[in-house]
Amino acid sequence: MIAVIFAQGSVLPFNFWELLFVFLYLSSLILIGALGYRARKTKSLQDFYLAGKGVGFMVLVLTLYATQYSGNTLFAFSGKTYRIGLPWIMCLHFMTAIVVCYLLFAPRMFQLAKKHTFITPPDFVQHRFENRLLTTLVSIIMIVAIANFLVAQLMAMGRALEGITVWDPQTAYSVGVIVLALIVVIYESLGGFRAVAWTDMIQGGVLMIGFLLLMFIVFEHYGPFDKAAKVIAERTEGENTAAKIALPDAQMMRQWYSYILIVGIGGALYPQAIQRIYAARTWNTLRTSLATMAFLPLMTTVVVVLVGYYAIAYHPEIGNEKSDTVLTVVCSEIQQSSLFGRVIICILFAAILAALMSTADSILLAISSMFTKNIYGVWIRPKANDEHLTNVGKMFSWIVITIAVTIALLLYRGQSLVQLLDKKFDLLVQLAPAFMLGCQFNRITTRAVTVGLIMGVISALAFGFFSESGKPWGIHAGLYGLLLNLLVICNIELLTKKRADD
Amino acid sequence: MNDQKELSTHPVQRRVFHVAIFLLLLIVAVPWYWNLVGLDPVYPLIFGLPRWFVIVIGHSFIVSVYTAWCICTFKFNEFACDQPDEDKTEQEEQA
């Protein structure tokens, strides 16, 4: 979705100084990777994937922020507001729900992670259920669920360069994908989590400033909301526009609940986010970071929804088909209005790149760590030492990024594969019993969780494929799968208990 | 199963209370009750935005405050197992 934005939008090509600013920003990321490499203390997996004893408050909160909010937040959310109207404020609820869901397992998991030196999310599953097959299954589901997200970020990076240069579009796209992917994999394999967290800190900061600037310039440019509301109400070409600011209908309200549940649960189970829970230096660090995270949706998602609101009022010409270009169109208008506008858009562009790269680097690190620790280190070389595993992890990162870049280049105009694979939340929520119930209940057994997980994944995929929208009756397919998953677990637990009583 | 004791003893009442509050907040998150009480779906506007929209943002703010409060008041000594060593060290340093 986000991959079409820049190409279809009309941001003016950047001049030399603007391109130099972007170049310096990107170069600084490699420098940080080198600093991360110098700061390493041992050649252990823990040092590479969790920065040794972990990170402090500022780094943690900004890396969590940069990881949770991707390019999707900026483009897809403003586009969706344009399409369905103000009811998309539901994104504020579901982004907050992610932090609420952390309450179910983050404190306990952090405690266990510190005690037993967990590195990847499946490490918790292995510790809790002591079953290598279940751990491998969880690793594979997590890798598959987030891999498509990596391709989507790379495609958006290509579109970003395509949008700001005067080069041939396909050449610019290819250069964007390859160069930006190369920068990500270089700083990631140099400094591991330390470099990723440090760059995330810069990227999170730039992103936060970007959101604030966006609100400021949009308000400055278009004027107060009353004026926009008046324009929408007075528009004669249909009730449809006015309906976009009205209370949602029953179907939309059902979807609203569905989104809160699926994104809240699924987003909390992002492997890269769980690794950040492990990486908190102390409980106080994690506690303060999560408490701060609870408020960040208010200053992030509300801004993009309001941009969409202005676009409904002042840019009816965009149309639903090109609604994901809403932000680009708004930026273009501001860019043309003044020199100050150009400067702001340049910073905003850096924020967009920051959002894309910080999500991509975290996914890459999570995939490489799960493959190395929970698949290679268990099934292929069980006796390998930490140094060997760390090297394999770095090598695997290069293999993953090469595959992802190839797919991104092949999908230059099409997105069908990405859409086909875009089932990440449907898959991730099936892991909720293993992580959330596993943390809370002692009695839950390995067999019940394994069978429930398999049934949940199969039914979520089946519901998704047999329904055109992926949301039968307005409810996400993954939630039907989760319901079946939980029913299977309850049944097996009850049967086991009955047999034990007999 | 390792560390059976680690995965138990958060006071049940406190846990049930928090879950109940969050469920209540979830139920009223979506403004389905708006039509039931006969309010206009758009007007009056508050700061140029529909009233239901402003109330949803206000609700979300309350969820954020309650979530932050839950996180900040969470105590590790409510668990059976020890606090992580690093935390102990930090508290000792602060003391």
Checking if the pLDDT of A477 tops 60, the result is yes
The share of chain A scoring above pLDDT 90, in percent, equals 31
Checking if the pLDDT of A383 tops 70, the result is yes
**pLDDT at site A265:** 95
Q: Which of A213-222, A286-295, A322-331, A346-355 has the highest mean pLDDT?
A: A286-295
pLDDT in tens, A67-119: 888 766 777 888 889 888 899 999 999 999 999 999 989 988 998 998 888 99
Using the beta-carbon criterion (under 8 Å), do A107 and B45 form an inter-chain contact? no
**pLDDT at site A286:** 92
Using the beta-carbon criterion (under 8 Å), do B84 and A283 form an inter-chain contact? yes
Q: Which residues contact A110 (CB under 8 A, 6 or more apart)?
A: A277, A278, A280, A283, A286, B84
Write down the mean pLDDT value for chain A.
84
Which residues of chain B lie closer than 8 angstroms to A125, CB-CB?
none
> Where does the pLDDT of residue B76 fall: very low under 50, low under 70, confident under 90, or very high at 90 and above?
low
Q: Which residues contact B75 (CB under 8 A, 6 or more apart)?
A: none
> Where does the pLDDT of residue A432 fall: very low under 50, low under 70, confident under 90, or very high at 90 and above?
very high
**pLDDT at site B78:** 45
**pLDDT at site A13:** 67
Q: Which residues contact A193 (CB under 8 A, 6 or more apart)?
A: A48, A49, A50, A51, A275, A279, A365
Checking if the pLDDT of B8 tops 70, the result is no
Whole-model pTM? 0.86
H or E segment at B46? strand B45-46
Which of B30, B50, B61 is the closest to A253 by Cβ? Answer: B30
pLDDT in tens, A137-158: 999 999 998 888 888 888 878 8
**Under 8 Å between Cβ of A153 and A355:** no
**Under 8 Å between Cβ of A64 and A293:** yes
Q: Which of A287, A319, A254 is nearest to A87 (CA)?
A: A254
Rounded Cα distance between A252 and A64, Å, is 30
> Where does the pLDDT of residue A328 fall: very low under 50, low under 70, confident under 90, or very high at 90 and above?
confident
Checking if the pLDDT of B82 tops 70, the result is no
Rounded Cα distance between A45 and A430, Å, is 28
Omega cis (within 30) before A271: no
Mutation choice for A interface testing from B69, B76, B87 by most A CBs within 10 A: B87
**Under 8 Å between Cβ of A10 and A328:** yes
Once rounded to an integer, what is the mean pLDDT over residues A480-487? 95
Amino acid at A115: K
Which residues of chain A lie closer than 8 angstroms to B79, CB-CB?
108, 111
Which of B35, B50, B67 is the closest to A100 by Cβ? Answer: B67
Rounded Cα distance between B82 and A420, Å, is 46
Q: Which residues contact A27 (CB under 8 A, 6 or more apart)?
A: none
pLDDT in tens, A237-267: 555 666 788 889 888 999 999 999 999 999 9
